[in-house]
Structure 1
Amino acid sequence: MKLAIVAGGPESLLPDLNDSEYEDFEWIGADHGTVVLLKNKIRPIRAFGDFDSLTPEERIEIDKNALDLCAYPPEKDKTDLELALNWALRLNPEQCYLFGVTGGRMDHALASVQLLMKSTDTTTELAIIDKKNWITLLTPGAYPVKNNPSYRYLSFLALTERVTGLSLSCVKYPLRDAELHLGSSLCISNEPQAAIFHVSFSHGLLLMMRCSD
C-alpha cells in the first residue's frame, strides 16, 4: 500500500498530484488539503481535521462528496496532519508521502519535519515533498541512493545531538567517518556526482534533503 497525505500549505508549492509517479497511491486529506484533493479530481479515502479554515462554499463541496470524515474540535493536542499521519502509519504502508506541509506557517512546517521521526519504528518510507524539495529521515545504516537530476543539491542535518560515523561517497564533497552535531551546517549544499551516491552512519538520526535550487 502507498499513501499520500495532503495538508493545507500553499498550493503553489505542490507538485502535480496527478503525475503518473503517484498513480498507485491512495490519498488522505488533512483539513484544507481535502479541498485541494477534490480540486485535483482526487477522492480521498479519509479526511481528518477541524476544517475551521474552510469557506462555507468549500465545506459544502466536502459535504456534497460524502467523504469519510474524521472531524475534531479546533482545540486539540495534535495538528490535523499528525492525526492523519498516525492513522496512515497504522496501515503499515510501504510509502507515505506528505504534501502541502511546507511554505506556509513556520511552526507548522517545523512540526511537520519532526513528524518524520514517526517513521523510525516502522518500515514505511516517509517523505515530505514539494515542488523544490524531497525530505526524509534516515536511521543508522548504509543507503545507496539513486540520483534524481531534478534535485541538484543534497543536504544533511542531525536531528539528534550528534550523528556519528557519517560517510558520504559519490558526491562533490565526500566524508569519511565524520561526526555531525545538532545545529551544524557542515553538510549543507552537497551535490551528487554519480547515478548512485552512498550515505552511511552508525548512530543518531539524519535528515536528508534533496533540493532543486
Structure 2
Amino acid sequence: MNPTRILLFAGGNLGTWAIQEIRENDWLVGVDRGALFLVRNGLVPKLSIGDFDSVSSEEMAEIERLSMHVSSCDPVMKDWTDTEMALTWAIEQQPEEIVLLGVLGSRFDHMLANVHLLNKALQTGSNCRILDETNEIRLIDRQSTIEQDHFDHISLLPFTPEVTGITLTGFLYPLKDATLRIGDTLGISNLLTEQTGTITIQTGKLLVVKSKD
C-alpha cells in the first residue's frame, strides 16, 4: 500500500515546527543528520539514508539502532547528494505528497540544489514541496490553487527562462496573461485577498514561494 505522505528530514534548519508537521501514518525519512534529529525526538525513521559524514560513530550507532531501515553510501564515491537519493527513493514509493524539511540552511549551494530538486519531482508527476518555519516552496507548470494560511506573502519566480500566460485571481496585485523572465521581480511579495487564489500559466515552470517575516 502506497503511503499518503513521505516527510524527508534533512540536516538543515529543523525544530519543533518540523515535528508539528507530522501526521498519523506519515512515513518519516531521515537524511544524514536529519535522521539523528528524528531519533533524538523519539521518532522512528522508516528509512535513514545518506553518507552520514556529519555524524559521529556513536551517533551513527544510535541511528542504526532506532531506524527501521538504514541505507548508507561512501561520502566520496557518489554522484547524488543525500537529499536527492532520499527524494528518488520517496518518488519510487508513489505517495500522494512528499514534503522536504531541513533542506534550507546556511549552505546556499545546497539550498539552491534542493530547490532544483522540486523539478525532479515535478517531472515524475509527484506532488512535492519544501517547508520550513518561515517558507513554503512549490514548483508548478499548470493551474494551481493557493490557500490563505499563516504565510503572509506569496512570490512568483520563473524557474524556466520564460513563463507565459500568468493570470492571478484572488490576489491584491492581479496579473492577466503576463510573462515573467529570469531576473524579473514583478512577482515578488503579493498577497491574497480571498480565502483561495488561483495561479494559471500557459508555458514554463514557476516557483511559488509562500513566506512570513
TM-score by length of structure 2 reads 0.93
What do the CA deviations read for 1:48-101 (whole angstroms, capped 9, x no partner)?
111011023311211322541111101111100000000110111100000000
User: What is the Cα deviation at residue 44 of structure 1?
Assistant: 0.9
**C-alpha contact (below 8 Å) 1:27/1:45 kept by paired residues:** yes
**C-alpha contact (below 8 Å) 1:18/1:40 kept by paired residues:** no
C-alpha separation between the residues in 2 aligned to 1:70 and 1:36? 17
Considering only aligned residues, what root-mean-square deviation do their CA atoms show, in Å?
A: 1.5
- Within a 5 Å distance, the mapping from 1:134-173 to structure 2 comes to 134-139=136-141, 141-148=142-149, 150-173=150-173
Unmatched segments (≥5 aa) in structure 2: none
**Which amino acid in 2 is paired with 1:61?**
E
- Within a 5 Å distance, the mapping from 1:47-126 to structure 2 comes to 47-65=48-66, 67-75=68-76, 76-126=78-128
The ranges of structure 1 where at least 4 consecutive aligned residues each deviate by more than 3 angstroms after the TM superposition are none
The percent identity for this pair of structures is 34
SS in 1 for 2:166: strand
TM-score by length of structure 1 reads 0.93
**C-alpha contact (below 8 Å) 1:92/1:123 kept by paired residues:** no
Q: Measured at CA, do residues 71 and 179 of structure 1 come closer, stay the same or move farther in structure 2, by a change above 3 Å?
A: same
Q: Measured at CA, do residues 30 and 16 of structure 1 come closer, stay the same or move farther in structure 2, by a change above 3 Å?
A: closer
SS in 2 for 1:11: coil
User: What is the Cα deviation at residue 203 of structure 1?
Assistant: 0.2
User: What is the Cα deviation at residue 104 of structure 1?
Assistant: 2.1
Equivalent residue pairs, number: 209
